[in-house]
Amino acid sequence: MIGVNPERVEFYNLSAAQGPRWAEICTEFTEKIITMGPSPIWFALQKKKQSAETEKQFA
């Protein structure tokens, strides 16, 4: 839909009493995201930023 790998999003349904499980999920997901690397949107934003800086230098 927006060009982002669906693997980058996960939904969980937890109660307020499941703090340890929440921490576990966060750790697992952080590891997963690190393995996957930056998202395509991050790359697109970097590119945009760079071209804006180049334009500024030439202005």
- Give the binding site for another protein (CB under 8 A): 1-4, 40-41, 44-45, 47-48
- Of 20 and 59, nearer to another protein (C-beta) is 59
Min CB(47)–another protein separation in Å: 7
Per residue, the 3-state secondary structure of 13-47, as one string, reads CCCCCCHHHHHHHHHHHHHHHHHHCCCHHHHHHHH
Rounded distance, CA 21 to CA 52, Å?
A: 43
State which residue, 1 or 20, has the beta carbon closest to another protein: 1
Is the CB of 23 or the CB of 45 nearer to another protein?
Answer: 45
